[in-house]
Amino acid sequence: MIFRSIFKKLSVSLLLVSLVLTVFGCSSKDSEFPSIEPPITSVSNSIVEETETASVTENYKLTVALPYSEETVNYLFKLYYAKLNGMLSNDETGSSISLDFLDSISTPYSIEVIYVPDKGTSASSISSFGDSSPDIFLTNELDVCVSNGLCRSLNDYCSVNPLFDADNVYYDPMMACVYSENLYAVPHYLSIPLIYGNSDFVSESDRSDFKISLNDLYRIVTNTYDANDEEVVCINSAVTLIPYISSAFDENSTNASYMLYELYCSNPELAEACFDDTYEFVLDLYQNGYSLDKNEDGSLPVISRNAALWIADSSEISYYSEYYPNRLFIMQMPSELDANTTIPYVSVYPLCVSKSSLVPQLAADFASFISLDSDAILLLNRLESKAGFLPVVSNSVVWDAYISNEVFGYVASVYETEMSNSVCSFDVINSGLNSKIINVISSNDFNDSEEINIDLVDIYGE
């Protein structure tokens, strides 16, 4: 059986409020989302109602595992409380609200922050807390958290939340958090794979365009090879291209998918043929001396600064900007052979609500607020801007804030108009399957074509 992926479009309808409600349900990406009815009771009552249900006191400490400081999270919670209680004027936003005003607000809950990396924490780390795990946590192993029962379904808590509106949230990132017709997380933010480059080795004409095709990439690599000595690695670890570029070899389809998953589901033979073309392309890069994984001394070319190009996540852009001062440039991950179409391959970083939380409604509301509310996102961007990440909402004011980032702004401006065509990578939301893909690929020696033995059936099964 092929792993039941969250990429499979579900056919689900909204039920009555008294039943288990499903947030999204469409047969295809282009279908309309079902409407979400406004709450029957005021959203501002959720704190009181949940307190009564859980029999906890008003000074309950909400524990969150997030990549933000305690000060920032407290400001976010006070903004949440202020908006629920109508304390903001119409012209105030997350970008303009006075921090002194937020400081003056007292809330019925206190906040404890457990700091986690930008990409979240593992399922094993959450499991180690036992019954005292954080109410809200950012994870990099959503599939494991779901299968191990570490997080709860949010259907009952988010189905009538107006933030979950088709005009507000991008489809694929939201569906990436759905397993077996249950919403298990709120998408918090996104990152994308990029091709990074060192301008010392790549000509100005070859690095002038951000949007490139796969054939453009090959031309840039060969030009770089011809222009530099043999110590320069034209593209470090070209094998890491494979999951992203495979759809470029499907001439009959415009529906890209990570590691050809969706094509394999519908037409395994065609998917295998496209995959054969993919590794032939990558194999050529190795056999012609354009790519190496390591230098002769075992060092990594990108670390020893003798790599001209390499593939890395956008979340690493600040690191590489500092490591390659005044020399770093970036290009998009190509998705077609000849056209420079932009298809965002996004990693979705989800916020979960712990199965052991005593205040699941409050936790779900606050997780949704800091991820999907425009004022919350603007305040976050103002207090702790994270270059290399993108929002999961389509609000143009939010995107303007990301575009204003000095390091990542141009990339954000390109992807804003293309995010509705995003494709979800497996790395965070299906870490188990992604590890299998990486293991199958990395077990092959691309310096020796006779040693390559990759078959999609080894990954996805019959």
pLDDT, mean of each 10-residue run, the chain (462 residues): 30 27 36 32 38 52 97 97 93 94 94 96 95 96 96 95 94 94 97 97 96 96 96 96 92 81 92 91 94 95 97 96 96 91 93 96 97 98 95 97 94 93 90 89 74 79 77
Angle at 412 between CA 406 and CA 413, to 5 degrees: 100
Sketch out the chain's domains with CATH numbers: 43-188+347-414 (3.40.190.10), 193-345+425-460 (3.40.190.10)
Residue 19's pLDDT is what? 25
Residue among 186, 219, 220 at smallest CA distance from 352: 186
Measured between alpha carbons, how far is 315 from 259 in angstroms, rounded to an integer?
Answer: 21
Residue 8's pLDDT is what? 31
Q: Give the H/E segment covering residue 61.
A: strand 61-66
Q: Taking the model in full, what pTM does it have?
A: 0.86
Residue 314's pLDDT is what? 96
Phi, psi of 180 (to 5 degrees): 50, 45
> Buried b vs exposed e over 58-72: b needs ≥16 C-beta within 10 Å?
eebebbbbbbbeeeb
Measured between alpha carbons, how far is 309 from 291 in angstroms, rounded to an integer?
Answer: 9
Tokens representing residue 366 in the block: 């606050």
Residue 451's pLDDT is what? 62
What single DSSP character describes residue 124? H
Neighbours of 73 (CB within 10 A): 23
Residue 454's pLDDT is what? 77
Those residues whose C-beta lies under 8 Å from the C-beta of residue 237, and which sit 6 or more positions away, are: 291, 292, 293, 310, 311
Contact between 47 and 39 under an 8 Å Cβ cutoff? The reply is no
Q: Pairing state of beta strands 110-115 and 61-66?
A: parallel
21-to-10, 35, 273, 372 alpha-carbon distances in Å: 14, 12, 41, 19
Amino acid at position 218, single letter? Y
Measured between alpha carbons, how far is 76 from 351 in angstroms, rounded to an integer?
Answer: 15
Helix or strand or coil: residue 291? strand
In the beta sheet, which residues pair with residue 353?
136
Measured between alpha carbons, how far is 38 from 48 in angstroms, rounded to an integer?
Answer: 19
Chain CA centroid to CA 142, Å: 12
Residue 60's pLDDT is what? 84
Residue length of the chain: 462
Residue 85's pLDDT is what? 94
Measured between alpha carbons, how far is 61 from 138 in angstroms, rounded to an integer?
Answer: 18
Residue 339's pLDDT is what? 84
Amino acid at position 325, single letter? P
Those residues whose C-beta lies under 8 Å from the C-beta of residue 156, and which sit 6 or more positions away, are: 20, 21
Residue among 312, 371, 339, 414 at smallest CA distance from 120: 371
Contact between 148 and 123 under an 8 Å Cβ cutoff? The reply is yes
